[in-house]
Amino acid sequence: MNARCTKKFVWALTLGLTLLATGSLADGWDPGSKATAQGSIVNTRHNMTMSYLGAAAVFMSGVRNDYGAVCVYCHTPHGANKRIDAPLWNRTINNGTYTIYDRPTTLMRPVGQPGPSSLTCLSCHDGTIAIDSVLNMPGAGWEPTLSGVTNNETGVSNQSFLGLWKAAGNVGPPNTGAPLGTHRTLGPELGEGVVTETCARCHNGAFSNGPDSFRAFMLGTDLRNDHPVGVVYPDTYTPTTDFYEPTMRLPGKMAFFDDNGNGRADSNEVRLYDTGGGYQVECASCHDPHGVPSGGAVSRFNPTFLRINNGIADSHAGTAGIVSNGASALCLTCHVK
């Protein structure tokens, strides 16, 4: 066993035992979900149609538009959001700024506002934007007839625009022509803010046989207690750097740890994004929103959409079929410990 592997093993063993003792969520534990997390994004909680619930999904039409298509909640083939460099992005994004990690003497790296590969995730998880807030709804050439109510290509959210969706089964009281229900956000940071008119009202872990719990994924706009995003990764590497060097670089795009040596950034490989200020750590560095099979094509996905399973396996309730990469495996992809 070489020095790097030995160091990884000792650190992983120590941290793994600590996490088992404390019950920490730091290694990627995912509260129980009725989605199977197997096969494709259709069977994950990122499927906003919630078709994996069957007839029970109709209930959710009271709090979001059921567009009847999984991809449309994030992507559109035409008229994508011009404010963000993300693939055919169909969602609105936060127009404001975030409170970022404020301990540079601890991190020892410059930290800026979240980049595009974090803003895409935060467009749901910061709790300020409705989960159905898209620019283009399904239907070729469909346009709202009222002026001033368009979610335009600059990504400005407009609740009135979302209220014009009149799909079958989603039309409100007679003679009003209005859709049923509201357009709710995921919710504020766990333990903060008012949750009455958010998804958190029900998805807060309070119901033993109720809906999926989202309580661990309400980040809010204060990101100081989350893994730093917008942080610049080192560009020099010495025995004292404490970071591993990415094996592949694509200037102006990304760098990544090419574990299988195929020259491609696969979904189960950690990557860093270059948006003009150097390679940066973003939400999508460690998470793939489409899901990553933990042990091959037919296995359960890694918890919390992680690219690398950070140690969660059958020792935790509700994880049958999940294959572990070892305690802190994701952390130790980048960090020399």
The predicted-structure confidence for 41-50, as pLDDT tens digits, reads as follows: 999 999 999 9
Q: Return the pLDDT at 61.
A: 82
The answer, yes or no, to whether residue 317 has pLDDT greater than 80, is no
DSSP 99: B
pLDDT by residue (tens digit) across 205-219? 888 777 888 888 899
When pLDDT is averaged across residues 267-290 and rounded to a whole number, the result is: 95
Residue 312 clears pLDDT 90, i.e. is over it: no
Return the DSSP state at 54: G
Query: What is the reported pLDDT for 239?
Result: 80
Helices (H) and strands (E) in the chain, counts: 6, 5
Q: How far apart are the first and last CA of the chain?
A: 16
pLDDT score of 16 more than 50: no
pLDDT confidence of residue 271? 98
pTM of structure: 0.86
For residue 307, pLDDT over 60 is answered with: yes
**Residue-wise pLDDT tens digits, 103-139:** 766 667 778 899 999 999 999 999 999 999 998 888 7
